[in-house]
Amino acid sequence: MSKALKPGAVIGILGGGQLGRMLALAAARLGFRCHIYEPGAEPPAGQVSWQVTTAPYEDAEAVAAFARSVDIVTYEFENIPTAALDLIETICPVRPGRAALAASQDRILEKDFLTGLGLQTAPFAAVDSVGDLEAAIARIGAPAILKTRRFGYDGKGQVRLNAPDQAASAWETINGAPSVLEGFVEFSAEISVIGARAPDGAVVCYDPGQNVHVDGILHTTTVPATLTLGQRTDAVILTGRIMNALDYVGVLGVELFVTPKGLIVNEIAPRVHNSGHWTQDACIIDQFEQHIRAIAGWPLGDGRRHSDVVMTNLIGEQVAGVRDLAADPACGLHLYGKAEARAGRKMGHVNRITGPAR
C-alpha cells in the first residue's frame, strides 16, 4: 500500500468482538468509518461502528459486498476462513498480510517459523494419532501440554499430561484433533510485547507487560514487568525480527516465557492483544490507534508509556463490581457492551494507574 488513507476512508474489520469494538473506537477518533463483518448477531463492535454486515464467512456475495464497501480490511482474530480472505484480496488489501496469518493459525507452522528465525520455543512434536503421542512423550517427557494445532484460544483445546500413561485419555479429551505436544516450560514469568510495524518498515514496541493467567485466561497485565534491561531488550528485538520476517503491517502480540535459558516464545497473535489493553490509559497512543495508524499508512506513535499500570480483565460476574471501579479516579474502565455475563466471558477490563512511569 503506497498511499495513506484519508480521514473519512472506510476500514473493514473481520470479527465484531471487543477487539473489533476498540479498534473501531480508535479508528473513529481519527475520522475513519468502520464496517464490521461478523456472523453472530449484535456484535459488540457493531454498537460503535458505521456499518455492520451479519453473515457467515461462507457467504461469498456478502463477503464481496463488504470488501467493495471498504478501503482496506483488517481483522480481530486469526482464524478467518481462507476462501473469504482469497475473495477479499481480489477486491481490496488485507492488513496484516497472509504470511502472518499462515504463521499464527497453526501451532506447528508457527513454531517452525520461529525456530527458523533462531528463536527458542518449547520442545514440540506434531501429533496425529495416539501412537504419535506416545512417541512424542517418550522424546519430550512429562509434564507436557497437548494443544490442538488450530483454533485454540484462552487455554481452550489444551490438555496437560503429567505422566506418560495419560496419553490415551489426553488424546480422547482433545477429540483426536491434529495436535502438537509441547514440553512444559518452567518459567519465572510470562510477558508479552505488543509491537507495531508500518508499511515502510518502521517498528515501534511498547514496554513488555507481565501476564498472570487464571484457568488459561489472562487475568492481569502489569507494566513495567520485572525484567532486567537485557531481557527487555531481547524481548523487543525479537518482536522486531518477527515483524520484519513477516513484512508485517499492523500490531502484533508476542507471548514469551522468561526462563534461565532466555526468552522462549509461546505464541504470536497477528492482531491487537488482550495483554496490550493497558496502553489505553498509560500511553498517549494505544495499541488500537497504533494498529489503525499502521494499516492506514499513518505515522506510528512512539509507544512511550507515561504511567505504570495494572490491567485486570473483568470476566463473567466480575463485571458486577464496576460501580466501585468507576468511583476510583485511578481506574480507566472499559466495558464491551455484552448483554449476558456468562462464566469465562470477557465483559470488560480496568486499567489501574499505579504511578508515573518508572
Contacting residues toward ligand AMP, per CB under 6 A? 122, 145, 152, 155, 182, 184-185, 190, 213, 216, 255, 266-267
Show the cell assigned to 29.
477518533
Which SS3 state, helix, strand or coil, does residue 324 take? Answer: helix
Q: Which residue is nearest to ligand AMP (CB)?
A: 185
CB of 161 to ligand AMP, least distance (A): 11
Q: Report helix, strand and coil shares of the chain as percent, to nearest 5.
A: 35, 30, 35
Nearer to ligand AMP, 159 or 185 (CB): 185
- Shortest distance, CB of residue 176 to ligand AMP, whole angstroms? 19
Tell me the closest approach of the beta carbon of residue 304 to ligand AMP, in angstroms.
27
* Minimum distance of ligand AMP from residue 212's CB (angstroms): 9
C-beta of 73 vs 191, nearer to ligand AMP: 191
Nearer to ligand AMP, 262 or 297 (CB): 262
- Is 269 or 310 the residue whose CB approaches ligand AMP more closely? 269
Closer CB to ligand AMP, 71 or 255, in the complex: 255
SS3 label, residue 3: coil
Angle between the N-to-C axes of helices 98-105 and 107-116, in degrees from 0 to 180, rounded to the nearest 10 = 110
Cβ atoms of 349 and 311 closer than 8 Å: yes
Q: How far is the CB of 292 from ligand AMP (least distance, A)?
A: 25
Between residues 153 and 298, which has the closer beta carbon with respect to ligand AMP? 153
Q: Which is nearer to ligand AMP, 55 or 150 (CB)?
A: 150
Q: What's the closest the beta carbon of residue 145 comes to ligand AMP, in angstroms? A: 5
Sequence-separated (6 or more) residues with CB below 8 Å from residue 230: none
| Residue nearer to ligand AMP on the CB measure, 51 or 259 | 259
- Cell triple for 238: 525479537
Query: Using an 8 Å Cβ cutoff, are 210 and 221 in contact?
Result: yes
Residues in the chain: 358
Give the nearer residue to ligand AMP in terms of CB position, either 217 or 245.
217
* Smallest distance, ligand AMP to C-beta of residue 108, A: 13
Long-range CB pairs of 63-70 (<8 Å, 24+ gap) are 63/37, 63/87, 63/88, 64/91, 66/12, 66/35, 66/37, 67/12, 67/91, 67/92, 68/92, 69/10, 69/12, 69/35, 70/10, 70/11, 70/12, 70/35
Neighbours of 186 (CB within 10 A): 10
DSSP sequence for 209-258: EEEEEETTEEEEEEES-S--HHHHHHHHHHHHHHHHHTT--EEEEEEEEE
State in angstroms the smallest separation of the CB of 323 from ligand AMP: 31
CB 277 within 8 A of CB 311: yes
Query: In whole angstroms, how close is the CB of 33 to ligand AMP at the nearest point?
Result: 33
Q: How far is CA 226 from the centre of its chain?
A: 22
Between the alpha carbon of residue 91 and those of residues 61, 97, 98, 238, the distances in Å are: 12, 14, 15, 34
